[in-house]
Structure 1
Amino acid sequence: MNFNNKYIPLIVGVAIAAGIFIGSKLNFAHTSDTLFATNSKKDKLNKLIDYIDYEYVDSVNTDSIVDVTVNGILENLDPHSVYIPVDEYQANVDDMRGNFTGIGISFYVHQDSLAVIRTIPGGPAERAGIISGDRIIAADGIELAGQSLDRDSISAYLKGTRGSKVNLKVQRRGVAEILDVAIERKTVPLVSVDASYKLNNTLGYIKINRFAETTFDEFKDALKQLKKDGATKLVLDLRDNPGGYITTAESIVDEFLEDDKLILVTKNKNGEEEESFSTSKGDFEDGKLYVLINENSASASEIVAGALQDNDKGTIVGRRSFGKGLVQREMSLGDGSAVRLTIARYYTPTGRSIQKPYGDNNDDYYNEYEKRYKNGELQSRDSIAVDDSLKYVTPKGKIVYGGGGIIPDVFVPKDTSMQSETIEYVSRNGFMSYFAFEYLDAHREEFNDVSEAQFVYDYIIDDSLVDEFSEYAKLNKNRSFFKDYDKALKTAIKANLAQQLYGMNAYEMILNQEDPVLKKVLELEGRSNLTQIKD
């Protein structure tokens, strides 16, 4: 049959219209179209927001109303389904991606100026000649000084697109003129392996602070170097690690397990299960392993500890972990914001869920530390409440429990005295770090010829510096109260100085010298103290 070409567009149009009409009459259950189709519940919310936008007597920021509404909905689901607003989204992306685009410095807003703490080794700022103690007073002609200085706005001026340049004006102690420094922005890593070194001749140590996209590569590099240096055993420190990507956790577990061992099972609302297994790629399958956890080890950290414990690999040392057994997926909301929605539960290889109970009050859920403190769990393993109905058995006959975190194989109590808690607080809340910066700002030249190893093993914090910090922190009236904890106070001060002089590796090396959990590991190894390695 022959048609005149002028009728072809009409025929095609009619055919498409007919297809749309017929398709609209067909019932395809559970497709994405029907899942997100208009319904009365969504219409109600949209109409309410429109009424407020156009009819309400006063001007209202409906964006903030939407944010509150989204948060309210998610708070009624579970503690880990969360909303990420537009102004926080990029920071979250950078953190989990493991890098950002910028100039590569850590800084303080100190006395109304931007003070450089350290440059990231090999980063753009270091290559351009920026040094610790420099004050950056302007970026591209915009003043970065004064009482209105805000950390987020500073970061916005220093970050930017890869390859773009920022022109800085820098004030340096001992130099009369203002320095002009042009820096090309590059990709800067956000390191997730805080420390990697040898505790003794055969025992290596790696501390991971989160499970980001780059973590596995960092871990592999650290492990490879430790093995090259003669480590045949490993301490994997996951204390205070809040988690991250499941795939990263699975990759790290794979390094320790033989081929075809179950690592993890996830189950969604429909009961559909996904299993992940180890492969033949592991580089530390035969090495002795210790995994350190505490009450702040969560999510992906618990996946690692649970998979290894259930496969009878290594020894878990420390205190009961947080207890998060829910899986989230990040989903864009179309306006630059996103939601991390719980989509599944995960189970360890023996079949246990380690998710602790949660109700309507998220504050109680996240502040369970107080409950653990009161029931004595932080001091005694016997105070950990277990449910016999959630008892599981590993292939070698070890009994493990579900229902709320990973219970370690070897328990190490926490020092919960007021003195110890106070020192930990002032050390970790940034206060001691500010003191360290001000001290180094006035004495930096004294450390110019001091190597990292010399500082870590030989430098001594004297009583006068402790007294100086006590006065700075307003603890001087209670010096006698801390008398028995002077050693711990000196260690914390030294560690904070080391962090700013040499980085996190030196910080962890110093703190670990007096760490009771690591001392327990060395006790298990048949040693009474750390054999210091200075090479």
Structure 2
Amino acid sequence: MNNSRFSIVLPLVISISICAGFLICYVVMGDVFDAQKKSPGVQKLEDVLNLLDSKYVDPIDRDAVFEETISEMLHKLDPHSNYIPAKDMALMSESIEGNFSGIGVRFFKLRDTISITHVLSNSPSEKAGLKDGDQIVRINGKNAAGVKMSTDTIMSLLKGKSGSSVNVQINRYGSLLSKKIVRGRIPIKSINVSYMIDDETGYIKIDQFSIPTAYEFRQASTNLLSQGMKKLVLDLRNNGGGVLDGATQIADEFLKDGLSIVKTQGRKIGTKYYTSTSRGSLKKTELVVLINSRSASASEIVAGAIQDNDRGLIIGRRSFGKGLVQEDQKLRDGSSLRITVARYYTPSGRCIQRPYSDGMEDYYNDPTRTEESMFKVDSSIFIDSLKYKTIGGRTVYGGGGISPDIFVPLDTTGTGVYYSALLWGGAVNQFAYDYVKRNRFFENSPWSSLNEFKTQFVAEKSLIDELAEYAAQELGILPYQNSDIKHCKKKLSIQLKSEIARQIWQENGFFSVYNDFDNEVLEARSSL
């Protein structure tokens, strides 16, 4: 069914489904509504679907229309209530639980070939003898190279039940090797970056909040404390949130006993208070939290608790503004309704949920929360009705999101259309992979440590020119004018050096290099 036909049918069904206020109950409760007891609204929706199925000019996918109807109805309530089809539930559960069953490699497609960037430590792939830089060319006897195989298809072939096996053929520098890999549980780590910036300052980046996040955080912070950490930069930029308990446990690591972390309040679930305990090893560690417009939900809980309790500085740009709490209700067919059941409030009483009365599209595309907020402070929230006080008496504001204590505008120096095309078109990371592989750095790095690499390696002009030529030949990415390469040379040099470090030392390598030039991290270091 094509999109244009779908866009004609769907509004009609949605208009009726909104009137059918009992539809969710019918789907969830199941047996409560039998054929004799259906509400008029539910019966009307079924009649419409039957008429469309029998009368509409083109064939319709009845199930698809029905599922889209549920999603659209929920989005009329708020932007975060959602319907999750059964086929998407497994992936959603993996993200929340922080693990899945597979072979344990990170890869991307290069010249339509599965190219392994990292074999995870102690993973099934490592045990089977796979190495960084290997390329998978066959999976269970089927050709996997040069056949336009999608990433979803690749994942479905490599993932599977723990204890089951998958046979792969790999290309290792021209030699074809066959490997049998017995699948196992693979962690989806929330924290892939933690290192010492200097002798006293640690850095931890949290990508999302899942069930194991708090445990991972304690492991990372304990390791940094053992290296002499007295100050911490906690990076929550681009972290869209996740599990509430993960956020409250991490906030508890910093706050002294008995302080408010967050309050949730809902019409049906009542009010719940989360307070800090005496547990935690970072009560005296100096702290800066980094946020931006893509820091949301659980990230905002942590940032709000730190800010309202005057426990540390918040640096960056105003956060997204998601202050609604969802609860999953599983349906009989394996799908799920993610229903908003409460709002959460920071210790000062702020509900940081931003307005959504203008609809979902405006909610996600509000220019005051995207382009404009990147470069200047939004002064529209600085009004008395949105004014709150921290535990120490400082003024903070509601109105949607957490406003940082120190605003740092987005740095666009040296960027442009050509730079963006190279970065988002995959040219930089693909070139870095090829560079490391052809020089055999995967197996024999000429640098004894990451710090030695940072000191010795320089992405010279000749290497930048080589990258530009590579992008043109391999990906068709060309400069728009002769000055483009010169304009972004410094930015490209930093990005390329960081990507090469990532290929050898994974995420710690990338951020250890890149953060030395990151304005928000530099501001954090100077503020500690």
One-letter amino acid of the counterpart of residue 227, structure 2: D
State the Cα deviation string for residues 441-464 of structure 1 (Å, max 9, x = none). 433348723344132332211111
Question: Retained in 2: the 8 A contact 1:452–1:502?
Answer: no
Mapping of 1:158-177 within 5 angstroms?
158-175=158-175
Separation in structure 2 between the aligned mates of residue 163 and residue 271 of structure 1, nearest angstrom: 41
Separation in structure 2 between the aligned mates of residue 371 and residue 309 of structure 1, nearest angstrom: 23
Question: Retained in 2: the 8 A contact 1:128–1:182?
Answer: yes
State the Cα deviation string for residues 254-308 of structure 1 (Å, max 9, x = none). 1011111111111113582111111121211111111111111111100000011
Matching residue of 2:522: 519
One-letter amino acid of the counterpart of residue 134, structure 1: D
**Secondary structure in structure 2 of the residue aligned to 1:437:** helix
**Secondary structure in structure 1 of the residue aligned to 2:41:** helix
**Secondary structure in structure 2 of the residue aligned to 1:76:** helix
Alpha-carbon deviation of 1:513?
Answer: 0.7
Separation in structure 1 between the aligned mates of residue 403 and residue 331 of structure 2, nearest angstrom: 38
**Secondary structure in structure 2 of the residue aligned to 1:274:** strand
Mapping of 1:10-409 within 5 angstroms?
37=33, 38-52=38-52, 59-175=59-175, 178-270=176-268, 272-368=270-366, 370-372=367-369, 375=372, 377-381=373-377, 383=379, 385-409=381-405
Cα root mean square deviation, aligned: 2.5
Distance change in 2, residues 1:429/1:207 (3 Å): farther
**TM-score normalised over the length of structure 2:** 0.86
Question: Retained in 2: the 8 A contact 1:470–1:479?
Answer: no
Matched, 1:427 2:405: no
Distance change in 2, residues 1:282/1:479 (3 Å): farther
Alignment partner of 2:432 out of 436, 451, 471:
436
Separation in structure 2 between the aligned mates of residue 120 and residue 346 of structure 1, nearest angstrom: 37
Separation in structure 2 between the aligned mates of residue 47 and residue 507 of structure 1, nearest angstrom: 57
Query: How many residues end up aligned between the 2 structures?
Result: 490
One-letter amino acid of the counterpart of residue 107, structure 1: F
One-letter amino acid of the counterpart of residue 402, structure 2: I
Matched, 1:510 2:513: yes
Q: Percent identity?
A: 39
Separation in structure 1 between the aligned mates of residue 299 and residue 370 of structure 2, nearest angstrom: 22
Question: Retained in 1: the 8 A contact 2:113–2:137?
Answer: yes
One-letter amino acid of the counterpart of residue 163, structure 1: G
Alpha-carbon deviation of 1:55?
Answer: 7.3
Distance change in 2, residues 1:271/1:251 (3 Å): closer
Separation in structure 2 between the aligned mates of residue 482 and residue 374 of structure 1, nearest angstrom: 25
Question: Retained in 2: the 8 A contact 1:467–1:476?
Answer: no
Separation in structure 2 between the aligned mates of residue 417 and residue 363 of structure 1, nearest angstrom: 30
Question: Retained in 1: the 8 A contact 2:199–2:229?
Answer: yes
Question: Retained in 2: the 8 A contact 1:387–1:403?
Answer: no
Distance change in 2, residues 1:62/1:446 (3 Å): closer
Distance change in 2, residues 1:33/1:84 (3 Å): closer
Separation in structure 1 between the aligned mates of residue 420 and residue 245 of structure 2, nearest angstrom: 32
Matching residue of 1:483: 486
**Secondary structure in structure 1 of the residue aligned to 2:205:** strand
Matched, 1:498 2:501: yes
Separation in structure 1 between the aligned mates of residue 242 and residue 225 of structure 2, nearest angstrom: 26
Larger Rg: 1
Matching residue of 1:410: 406
Alpha-carbon deviation of 1:468?
Answer: 2.0
Question: Retained in 2: the 8 A contact 1:238–1:293?
Answer: yes
**Secondary structure in structure 1 of the residue aligned to 2:261:** strand
One-letter amino acid of the counterpart of residue 371, structure 1: T
Distance change in 2, residues 1:56/1:421 (3 Å): closer
Separation in structure 2 between the aligned mates of residue 355 and residue 341 of structure 1, nearest angstrom: 16
Separation in structure 1 between the aligned mates of residue 418 and residue 228 of structure 2, nearest angstrom: 39
